[in-house]
Structure 1
Amino acid sequence: MLRRGLSNDEIQQMSVMMYYELWFFDSFIEPQGPVYNDFYQARLVHTIEANNPNLTKEYRKKLNMKDHLLIKDSVFKSQEEIEKEKEQQELKRKKAVESMFDPALLDKVRLKQQKKVNNG
């Protein structure tokens, strides 16, 4: 807020609502705000990494600019979006755990579970 030319006295005299409106604008909406700057830096790092001649095509396809963001997108998400993300993370975690086991062993476990459900 001080970059707009507001002095410390002016900030002290303004209402609390006005202060938070200005803070919100400075933090999340203004183009020179931290979110915009973070987006710029993430895009720069992503571009540099994507142009690295030592990377394979598979790795380049996996590159995602969101991996380089420091400020995450959880600020404006609804509860449903947050729950969906948690479910996706849980699904990824389960797949990672299953990938550690032999596929034949996992098939046996699934067959036993299906038999229990059908008999139960």
Structure 2
Amino acid sequence: MGQPPFSKPEFGAGHVQSSVGFGRHRIHSGEMTGEDWTRLAREVPGTAAAPLAIRTPVSLTMAELPEQARTLVAERKIQLLAVDGIQDMQEARETQRPPEERSKTSREAWRR
């Protein structure tokens, strides 16, 4: 396994940021409004309680991705799956798929 590009706390902070609709700079600069604080307070408990697994297999292929996703869902009851670096994954036969095909494969992985 390779080194993850981010830690669990960093991933959690990024997820909260995207869910509430404003960046970390608003928190650090003191520019948050009352509504921002309310949205943040609503989002943090759910994110903090959510199961999170970060896996960074160096040789994961597009063909193995759906099985990995099913395993995570079955074992850990995961309801949200985020895949970073899907563009870097290789097909089983080591040729690169066009971006549209990679998108289709990733969408199909979560439907199964």
Shorter-normalised TM-score: what interval?
under 0.3
Highest Rg: 1 or 2? 1
Choose between structure 1 and 2: higher helix proportion: 1
Report the TM-score when normalising by structure 1. 0.20
